Each structure stands twice: as C-alpha cells, then as structure tokens.
C-alpha cells in the first residue's frame, strides 16, 4: 500500500512561532516553551526562559550575554552543518549571513525538506558566515524589506558617505545610530575595510556585544569606550551609539554633533527626518527586494511561506514566479534593523 507522506503544512504549525509537531519543538517561539530552536540572537527571535534551547555557539553566547541565567534551562549548541535528530525530525543549522551565529533551520521529515531561514541577507559581511542557499520543498522567508521600493545601495557607497562627511567636517563629532547586535560590528568592519583605522568610540550599551564578537574572532580594529573621554577629544571622531541615544541628553554633551543612522529604513526619507538624522546610511542586515527574489530563485522551492514584514507583496511576487505561496502572519515580530 502506498501512503503519501504528510505535507509540511500538516506537521508545521504557526502557533507561538513555528511549531514542528513530529519533533515537538518550536522555532523562535514568541513565548517560553519546553524545546526551542533559535535562529539568531535578535530580541524578537531569541527570548528568555525556554526549558531547552538548541542554537549555534554564537547565538547561545549572545543569549547568555543578554539574558544571563534566563537564557534557558539547558543550552545545546550545534555546529553549522551538524545533523541533529529531535523526535522524528532531522535538523541542520546552516549559515544565514544575518548576524554572528545566525542560522537557517533545515528540517527533514518523511521525505520533505523545509528551510526556516529566520532573518538573512545576501551581501558579504565580515562579521558572520555567508548565507548558504539550500534546495528545499518549502522555503520560509522573512520579508522585512519585501517591497519593490526597498533596494539597498552598495554598502561601500554608504560607508564612503560617512568618511566623506568626516573629511568635510573635521571638527564635528559623528554620532551614528546602530543596533547593538550586528549592525554595530558590521559598520566597524566596513570602516576598516574602507581604510579607516582610527579608534572608534562606543556608547556603553554597545561594549558587551563588541567584546563578544572579538571573542569569536571578529576583528573590529581599535574601539574605545566613550565614558570618561573629555567631549573635546571627540571632535572629528566617529562615535557609535544605540539608535535611541543619538538625540538624547548623552549625545547633547558631545561637540557639534552630526547625527547619522545605519539602517535599511534610512531608505525612507521621512524616517530619517523624524529621527533627526542628518546623515542617513542605508546599511541593512536584511535582504532587500532584489535579494529576496534572487533567493527564491536560488533555493528553487516550489512553495514559499512568508513571514516577518511585508508579507503580501512577496507572496504576490512568488505567485507571479509560478510558485505556491502563503503569508504566515505570526504575531510577535517587531520591525527590526
Ligand atoms: Zn534579526
Ligand atoms: Zn527578525
């Protein structure tokens, strides 16, 4: 008797993140669960207090740094490419190119292969392993920048804008808003790559994760804490700070500030304006529209599930490409980057 294997939609549910029934685990659960598999350390993917956590070394280190004892009951690390069986499901973590430790979760169950990509990008990033396209039957993709207006310019171009401003205003302090996990370290390595080897000053909230990246072998060049440095010494310097700090009291003590911000959202002029950003740098850790489409082509999956962002436009695009596509609409994801 021939039994047709169950379709992924019958064994992967979207409750509290993505729930895999035959393995009895959740991927990036939005509330604490018994067994969690975590794609990467950003706050809307990695949350505290799961009883058991499976993730890469890098992701576990980030979770420990952020949550301390609440990182999870039991923490199990998996190397990229290592195959791990949970229940009836084989799991492999594969690089996603998003931030240090970020992984796509490859699930194999009764002949079908599903890839939960988490967040990803396709551009080179010296701070993490590059995205590896995996052939699969169902590809679950993010869509943070899933609209045709989102086309990120070349990274090099954006970093050169910062270096150019620094030459133009050698007396002004350039305070650049960056997310603490990923963007901060990426901007540092990009500056070094463009030949900037001066010390870069860090707001206190960025130091722990920079140390963590260094401990994982990422060379950030000379970085110094801002704390204790006389404001006059920061003239003509680059200071990195969390996005919320660039316009607060702390920043007002700095000399003649140029406020910058490194984010994919800087593509939207009103957003830059609303945040008082004079120097918008369109640098994103997420795939842009063209990269999302290129990725659908690269993985060659006949079926696409879209989550996390502008779902409808990408669903429509996938259908135009002749693929089956659906929006997952999982609650609990924030607008990241
Ligand atoms: Zn992320
Ligand atoms: Zn995300």
The mean per-residue pLDDT over the stretch 226-243 comes to: 96
pLDDT reading at 310 higher than 90: no
Residue 2 has pLDDT above 80, yes or no: no
Which ranges of the chain does DSSP label H, i.e. alpha helix?
8-11, 57-67, 155-168, 183-193, 207-215, 249-252, 269-274, 289-299, 311-320
pLDDT band at 308 (very low <50, low <70, confident <90, very high): confident
Decide if pLDDT at 162 tops 80.
yes
pLDDT score at 333: 65
Rounded percentage of the chain residues whose pLDDT exceeds 70: 97
Written as six digits, the tokens of 235 are 């003239």
Cα 170 to ligand 1 centre (Å): 34
Q: How confident is the model at residue 36 (pLDDT cuts 50, 70, 90)?
A: very high
Separation of CA 7 and ligand 1 centre (Å): 28
Q: From the CA of 62, which ligand is nearest? A: 1
Quick one: which of 3, 15, 8, 28 has its CA closest to 107? 8
CA of 277 to the centre of ligand 1 (A): 23
Measured from the alpha carbon of residue 59, the closest ligand is 1
Listed residue (247, 242, 286, 244) closest to 264, CA to CA: 286
Ligand 2: centre distance to CA 319 (Å): 24
Phi–psi pair at 50, nearest 5 degrees: -80, 150
- CA 308 to ligand 2 centroid distance, Å: 7
Radius of gyration for the alpha carbons in the chain, expressed in angstroms and rounded? 21
Task: Give the mean pLDDT of 126-146.
Answer: 97
Look over the chain and give the mean of its residue pLDDT values, rounded to a whole number: 95
Q: Tell me, in angstroms, the distance from the centre of ligand 2 to residue 196's CA.
A: 30
**Which residue in 263, 268, 257 sits closest to 242, CA to CA?**
263
- Model pLDDT, residue 243: 94
pLDDT tops 70 at residue 1: no
- Which residues have beta carbons under 5 A from ligand 1 (an ion)? 42, 119
Identify the nearest ligand to the CA of 333 by its number. Answer: 2
């Amino acid at each position: 008797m021939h039994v047709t294997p169950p379709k992924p939609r019958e064994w992967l549910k979207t409750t509290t993140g993505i729930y895999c029934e035959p393995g009895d685990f959740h991927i990036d659960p939005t509330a604490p669960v018994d067994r969690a598999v975590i794609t990467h350390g950003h706050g809307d993917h990695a949350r505290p207090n799961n009883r058991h956590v499976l993730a890469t070394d890098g992701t576990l280190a980030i979770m420990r740094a952020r949550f301390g004892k609440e990182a999870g009951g039991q923490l199990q690390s998996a190397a990229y490419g290592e195959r791990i069986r949970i229940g009836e499901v084989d799991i492999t973590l594969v690089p996603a190119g998003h931030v240090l430790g970020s992984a796509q979760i490859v699930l194999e169950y009764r002949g079908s292969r599903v890839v939960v990509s988490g967040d990803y990008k396709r551009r080179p990033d010296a701070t993490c392993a590059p995205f590896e396209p995996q052939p699969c039957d169902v590809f679950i993709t993010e869509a943070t920048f899933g609209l045709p207006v989102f086309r990120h310019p070349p990274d090099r171009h954006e970093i050169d804008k910062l270096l150019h401003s620094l030459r133009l205003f050698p007396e002004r302090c350039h305070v650049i808003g960056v997310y603490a996990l990923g963007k901060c370290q990426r901007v540092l390595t990009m500056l070094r790559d463009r030949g900037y080897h001066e010390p870069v000053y860090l707001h206190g909230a960025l130091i722990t994760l920079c140390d963590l990246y260094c401990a994982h072998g990422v060379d950030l060049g000379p970085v110094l804490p801002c704390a204790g440095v006389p404001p006059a010494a920061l003239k003509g310097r680059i200071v990195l700070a969390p996005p919320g700090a660039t316009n607060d009291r702390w920043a007002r003590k700095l000399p003649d500030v140029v406020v910058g911000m490194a984010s994919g959202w800087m593509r939207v002029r009103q957003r830059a304006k609303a945040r008082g950003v004079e120097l918008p740098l369109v640098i994103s850790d997420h795939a842009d529209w063209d990269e999302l489409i290129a990725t659908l082509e690269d993985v060659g999956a006949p079926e696409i599930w879209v989550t996390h962002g502008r779902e409808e436009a990408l669903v429509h695009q996938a259908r135009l490409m002749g693929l089956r596509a659906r929006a997952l609409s999982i609650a609990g994801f924030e607008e990241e980057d």
